[in-house]
């Protein structure tokens, strides 16, 4: 299977999957190409597409082998029309509040020692730019956001925590994220976000079945802004 368009490589993933790798001068450019392709596949909505799993510079497509084979999927993908302008309008911009230095989620001493920055500068840098959602995974709703300012680059903890609180806002290397649920984690914590990153939604208009959906999707952008402890506690519950 030969590469095409912005696809730099294609590899099989078992009998029912294909992985596409994308071109781009930067990881952000590669990820934008991933996002464009995801939205094009979703737009065409073929029943044999079982799952679409985007990542930083790749896209895994799981298909129904009863309906199609890998050659048919390849031909479909090769002929998929990418409309950059139309897809760009579907991406969402999210503004997420953060109670920085919340006692349950504060590694400011560690971050300050690693970066040499004051607490106020750490908050200012983290909340002073927009981030792109590069991938969603680890746990449902966990969005990998980048890039943080270079001055904020901070390695993961040498020993991960067994329990990170729900809503914890964290950084690692040049990434940032919000933990959507209580889970293990090795990132440096900045505070707490009261916004739920997952929600339930009916699968179809005629169905009462509910499925878990993520607030953040690949290609979206995110900004953080500081709030006080009082504002955090007054935020509506899930």
Predicted local confidence at residue 208, as pLDDT: 47
Residues 124 and 35 in one domain: no
Predicted local confidence at residue 236, as pLDDT: 82
Predicted local confidence at residue 213, as pLDDT: 79
Predicted local confidence at residue 166, as pLDDT: 95
Predicted local confidence at residue 87, as pLDDT: 47
Give residue-wise pLDDT tens across range 81-97. 877 655 455 679 999 99
- Cα gap 142→133, rounded to integer Å: 10
Domain range for 191 is 93-234
| Domain of residue 170, CATH code | 2.40.100.10
Query: Is residue 1 assigned to a domain?
Result: no
Give residue-wise pLDDT tens across range 174-186. 999 999 999 999 9
Residues 112 and 228 in one domain: yes
Structure tokens at 107: 């590694």
Predicted TM-score (pTM) of this structure: 0.80
Which parts of the chain register pLDDT below 50? Answer: 87, 202, 204, 206-210
Residues 70 and 46 in one domain: yes
Residues 36 and 101 in one domain: no
């Amino acid at each position: 299977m030969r590469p095409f368009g912005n696809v730099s490589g294609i590899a099989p993933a078992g009998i029912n999957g294909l992985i596409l790798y994308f071109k781009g001068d930067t990881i952000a450019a590669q990820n934008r190409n991933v996002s464009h392709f995801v939205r094009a596949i979703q737009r065409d909505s073929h029943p044999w597409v079982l799952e679409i799993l985007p990542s930083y510079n790749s896209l895994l497509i799981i298909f129904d082998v009863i309906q199609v084979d890998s050659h048919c999927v390849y031909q479909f993908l090769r002929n998929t029309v990418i409309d950059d302008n139309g897809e760009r309008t579907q991406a969402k911009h999210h503004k997420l509040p953060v109670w920085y230095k919340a006692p349950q989620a504060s590694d400011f001493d560690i971050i300050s020692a690693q970066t040499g920055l004051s607490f106020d500068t750490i908050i200012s840098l983290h909340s002073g730019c927009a981030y792109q959602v590069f991938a969603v995974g680890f746990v449902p709703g966990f969005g990998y956001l980048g890039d943080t300012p270079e001055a904020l680059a901070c390695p993961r903890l040498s020993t991960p925590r067994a329990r990170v609180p729900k809503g914890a806002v964290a950084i690692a290397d040049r990434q940032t994220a919000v933990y959507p649920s209580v889970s293990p984690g090795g990132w440096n914590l900045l505070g707490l976000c009261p916004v739920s990153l997952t929600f339930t939604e009916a699968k179809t208009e005629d169905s009462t079945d509910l499925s878990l959906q993520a607030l953040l999707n690949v290609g979206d952008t995110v900004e953080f802004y500081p709030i006080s402890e009082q504002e955090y506690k007054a935020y509506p519950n899930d």
